[in-house]
Structure 1
Amino acid sequence: MARMQLQVQHTIFILLLLWHITTTSTSPTSSKFAAPAIAKPNCRTHCGNVSIPYPFGIGPNKDCYYDEWFQLECNKSTGDKPFLRLAQLEVLSISIKGMLQFKYPVTFFSCKGKETRQAPNLTGSPFLYSVTHNIFTAVTCGHLATVRSEKHVFHGCESTCDWSTNNTNRCDIEINCCQTNIPPNLSVFTTEIQGRYQNGGCGYAFLVDQDWFVNNLSSYRAIQGMDSVPVVLDWKISLDNTSLRSFKGFIGTEPDYYDFERNYIIDSTPYCEIYNATTSSTYNKSSLHCSCPAGFEGNPYLLHPCQDIDECKDLNQCTDLLALREFGGSSICLFMGPGLLLLLVGAWHAYKVIKKRKNIKLKERFFKRNGGLLLQQQLSSGEINVEKIKLFKSEELEKSTDKYNIDRILGQGGQGTVYKGMFADGRIIAVKKSKILNEGQLSEFINEVVILSQINHRNVVQLLGCCLETEVPLLVYEFIPNGTLSHYIHEHNEDFPLTWKMRLRIATEIAGALSYLHGAASFPIYHRDIKSTNILLDEKYRAKVADFGTSRSIMIGQTHLTTVVHGTFGYLDPEYFQSSQFTEKSDVYSFGVVLVELLTGLQPVSAVTGSQGNEYKSLATYFIPSMQEDRLFGILDAGVVMEGSQTDIITFANLAMRCLNLNGRNRPTMREVVTELEAIQMLIENTGTVPESYNGVESAVSDINEHWDAVSSSTE
């Protein structure tokens, strides 16, 4: 009997497949898989060979585009080439996934017949230069090529000179050419080469779509004969009251294709995410990005249901099903009598099974794409402490964050969005939802998992685990409730002001964490991006060092790490900026800037009006002359002056000076920094043991003067 039931079920499943095949046309004109609409009714869908999806549109009908930033011009005078009307940029392609490719001018230096042009200024627009898809490239040698952004962030690179090499066409070996990533949230920047370009040839620098660069150029030298290259912009639409009402039912409601265990059917409804205005320059408003669920396609901004993807477009995936078509056409009618009801019941069951299998396949594909294989490789190599890394289920994290509700957002940055979550047992967590990654960013994501798995320190944020089976990878951290140190330094929280004792304690805790990373961890770890926004404060206002995405661990005996320059302007070690060699003393310099922030309450970078307009000056270049000219107490935070003793403050300031020494060898180690900070704390606790005098300030100033001329003001 059981065998007969199994045979019946098997027969029903085969019948379902045959019925599905014979009733579903594979013709390209099938209504099921007809090309989805990309534009609104009665609006042009193409300009030349470029597709124009809504929210973009060609005027003058205002209903065809979202707002004037998305209006395109297309006429015979431009050769049927689309141009953004306001920005006057020639558009090469538009992706409904939030990307636009346009022609970007190459910046030439000392090249005959070539004008020096800078990147278009997109301030106030919904467009940002894509961190994910672009790479900054400089063809020069012996000079530092830099990108300066409106956010005061320096990124740059420098290559070695070998003009005798004619067959070196790759930039990754950094001979006569170098490449580096750009900082996030860029809408305007300038490209510069430090020093006058020499060596008998012209130099040039450009941002470029890295996929185009790899796939279309045999040599970077070919750019010299071009005026422009393709560059990718990220775009989102602004969110005002009108659009909020239009998109309300689609915001923060990701479809249920993550609910594998509950057998949810995939939902074809598009979904949208809100991004706060603080993370981009878009209109100074919040912005919106919409998507179709995985397995569906269409234009989500039209707010129509997305269409199921035709899996049989790839004939290799459907050979067996297509082979059954002829058999099905002749045999299906034999079973369409009394067993129809049974067939329909079996069909429903089989439909659920097929959908579940499709979801499992989707889950497996996400796992591989998000670095699951790389993580497994790291696990098998023994580098990761397996006991500390938990692989969370996607539905568990989705439930804990209320489906990533916008009200749960703790913060957003270049690497992704952090949500507050709560498990069923009451544990509160922070879920970092990364942005869609390319291969280079993927290694940084897995690197953060590897680094944090090795760390066990009370002043370092704890990684609880990760999830790789979702469309974008997720990291799960312990929840740190009281925000960043930067907030308390610069925004002067009246409910909880930073006292002098708190500043000293927090500095000691940060120094202790860095000392542990440099010397006490299983492998020495360099953080590479120490700044006050990467220091979190827990429920007792204890410091927690966070954001290890760009960190690196090194082998015992290795003295430095040679790498493309990463970091944040204002905190970046000038020595590292020149040599691209990062050592533990580079972290010491960045920590020195944090010490000065704690002392003065000033921002790490400030605007100064000069002959060329606004110039940006780092806090270090402001603090050091103040020490040299005996003006320290004129720049200190009022709370520090009122609460701290003169001896303690001078000792603290002297330590900051030593950390900021331009010669890395003369900076203290983090272990020495911890010792000196603890000594100041002991002096405060034992007020009767204040030293009579402290002569370290003069020696530190003298030491700084010795090396101050080594770095130009432009590098500062």
Structure 2
Amino acid sequence: MQALLQLGLCLILLAAQYAPAGSAVPSSHCRRQCGNVEIPYPFGIDPGCSPGDGFHLDCKVHDGIERPFRSAFEVLDISLKQGTTRVLNFIVGYCYNTSTGSMEYFGRYGGLNEGVSSPYRLSDVQNRFMVIGCNALASISDRDGTGYEGYGAAACRNQSDLVDGSCSGIGCSQTTIPKRMYFYATTFFSTVNNSQIWKFNRCSYAVLMETASFRFSTKYITTNKFNGTNDGRVPVVLDWAVRDIKSCDVAKQNKTGTYACLSSNSKCVNSSNDQGYTCNCTNGYEGNPYLPGGCKDVNECDHNPCPSDGVCRNIAGEYRCSCRVGKKYAKESNTCNPNIGFIIGLTMGLFGLMIIIMISVFWGQMTIQKRKLNKVKQEYFREHGGLLLFDRMRSEKGLAFNVFSEAELRHATDNFDVSRILGKGGHGTVYKGIIKSSMLVAIKRCGIVDERQKKEFGKEMLILSQINHKNVVKLLGCCLEVEVPILVYEFVRNGTLFELIHGRNQALQISFSTLLRIAHEAAEGLSFLHSYASPPIIHGDVKTSNILLDDNYMAKVSDFGASILAPSDKEQFVTMVQGTCGYLDPEYMQTCQLTDKSDVYSFGVILLEILTGQLPLKLEGTEKPRSLSLIFLSAMKENNLEDVLVSQVKGQASMELLRGLADLAKKCLEMCGDNRPSMKDVADELNRLRKLSLHPWVQLEMEMDEENLVGGESTSGYEIELSGYPMGQSENHPINPGSSYYAR
């Protein structure tokens, strides 16, 4: 049968009918020291020196030294602030008796035979139930109190399994206990603790003890000796409190009789282990809160909490720091900082006149700076050709071109607010603006221009202002009084050809005939710039994102940020290559000479995008970027045109038409610019192909020379349906206006 041990930590006297904690004040003759242990009130070692038997201790002589005891358990220390008492508890052993061949208990047990109304509870936070041994299984139970029963098991096969400091089940285990325990019993299970493994471990041990005081040693197993540090005793922590009242709220309602927190600067703290409460001094005070006047003010200035250049003044419960004249104490950083208010007041008093003079000088400088700004604006206006524009506008009264002020354009764009941005690009940022109350325009703040461009800017503005072609975005005016000119274009709302082919409008499923019409209209616009403008204009950045679409999805060539006038012989070279990768003329990249055939090459790439639905330059996995032009030319060389055509195109047009368009693109992509057709030839050939797509039964003459393209009559006025919507109804098409454009 298992042996049941009553370990005696039944931490409240059954007969403890002690008086309430606040009912008596101890005499000044009460001893407050037993040996080296301080005995603070409410504890006492003399009769009448504690509020009841539950707080009474015995001061006994043990081994020639005075020591306080609670029953048979020696008291090590008492903490008023933490509400704890540390006592020495007895280790219980369970050993194999080689003489009798049976297991026997040993060690002292029993002592504090207390009950539920005692001030003490076993600390569930600071204690653990320790079991040491090999094949040791022990239980800890409180059947008469909380009803708790827990187990600790320790096992090992070889001494090499043991590790100093490790208590995780091999040779040693530790188990937590619940709150509200005031008693426990320990039992070893003989079915596990047997003599088969006692070759190197004859004894097992069990004890409830303070966790912080324990560190496992392999010697406890190998030497069969675990005696703790005090002749077979180890520390255990007891939580104590005034238990006759459940909580602080109840105690405060009855302060006149039993309230234990007698000091005027004390506070009540609810017990964390069962009902009851303890007392603590409030912040800034220290001492014994259970005695009248027991909480004394702490003189914080003794520890110099103020900054080195400050002065500390102690007051009841706290302290004050002050600084010398001219400085102010900052509590958050504990520093003496300059007193700005004092300094400003002194400065204003002494230097008031100087401030008035400074204000006068400031306003004078503001006036001078404003005059300088106006002068700078006038200089910019002159540099950008503003005088030339005004002279021309006076001489040609019908010139429909406006020169705006910077203030007008700031008002039109809400001071160039980010919400007004339509697009950004290498040549500037485009904003949506409203002029003349209701007229929508696109306002482009250009990028940096060089000195040559500044000199030619006025002339170029005159030329661009006179371009009036339905397939070229109209330049309405400009602002020249800023360092970098600002341009004002007509507002084109239905996005770009790029978005129709690749972007957000791709879902519209635009028909091939519509894409062919848009390409033809764009070619007509570029042809006009090359052939009919005087002097001719080279666009320099032809790409699908610079072909805008108006309300009727008519193409309009835009963005002349990289454009130049057809150069004279001495200015034919561009110092820095401009344009967009994938569209750049290889000959231009080698020679830095921009010609009209450079625009033709870029337009050939646009035709490839329509045929293939692919981007001009793309990445495929980890490979290097691949040029759409090279892919296409390789397919044409190997007679594999159908492999690169997009399925939508192949399903909507005849191969005869697609080969004709592919041959045109191939001629545009000739490496030598002289071998490429002109934009007029390209526009004429697209016109012919459109007729073929509209009337495939008509046998058109297809006499083509190896080096010349035969063009046909312009058909840009034809009405062509867009995804089932007649051109006259296209403003109802579900496309979000205000797309990003102009600034590519």
TM norm structure 2 = 0.43
* Structure possessing the higher relative contact order (Cα contacts under 8 Å, 6 or more residues apart): 1
For the pair shown, which has the larger CA radius of gyration, 1 or 2? 2
